[in-house]
Amino acid sequence: MSQAQSAIYPSLNGASVLITGGATGLGADFVRAFAAQGARVGFVDIDAQAGAALASELGPQTAFVAADLRDLDSLPQTIATLAERLGPFTVLVNNAARDERHDFATLTPDYWRDCLATNLSHHVFAAQAVADGMAQAGGGSIINMGSISWMRGRPGMLGYTTSKGAINGMTRSLAAELGPQGIRVNSVVPGAILTERQARLWLTPEKNAEFLEQQALKFRLEPHHVTPMVLFLASEASIGCTGQNFIVDAGLTLN
């Protein structure tokens, strides 16, 4: 995130923050931004090499554990391991996801279950794992990463769009469930974000022009355009916000 777009949130200085899928892409930008705020940042990712490199880059205020978040039985212990090093988490960013393309005609039950496990289920159980610690600390903030893909009804990625649509309902229910304990739950809903993975797998001049034509704002969104919203929702500057979707899409959903 560029200095011009950054804001300093005193409530994040010294806070203990957990980020899933933090080794690359959006997640890595989140990890760097929270570390720059003075937070203690724990992150989890299946990419052990990239995660270890990022933790080494940022130093002792960060801690990384390589884990497969689809393994829900081991997830609480993974989170507990990080909390032992950094303290109980008062911010959780449920970011991990994988927007793979697939054909509806050949979709199998196993692939479908894996889509939900990769993009949805761990959000619930990561929140469950940190909720008690947040309540004991007097409150906290959970931020679920959605996607406008479900709002636009994008074909060829039914497992992903279904998961991201479900995050909307999950966010609202968790906000009601955890609000009495001072825990806020919101979702950030990005548009077409140009990450290294997106550029490598799917970016073409035609697709780039298509997004720019459809967006109200005529520039491609990158991770650093989303990160400020995540920081805001994690901080006490957003103390009255819960159960809401915050869209960062350069106006793509206006069409």
Give the residue numbers annotated as catalytic, written as ranges. Answer: 160
* Residue 220: both structure tokens together: 């491609």
**Cβ count near 69 (within 10 Å):** 24
- Residue 43, judged by CB atoms within 10 A of its CB (0-12, 13-18, 19+), counts as buried
Q: Catalogue the E-assigned strands of 146-210.
A: 183-190
What letter would DSSP give residue 242?
A: -
Residue with the two structure tokens 């679920």: 144
Could you tell me what percentage of the chain is helix, strand and coil, using 3-state DSSP and rounding each to the nearest 5? 55, 15, 30
Our measurement of the distance from residue 208's CA atom to the centroid of its chain's CA atoms, rounded to an integer in Å, reads 24
Residue with the two structure tokens 């039950």: 109
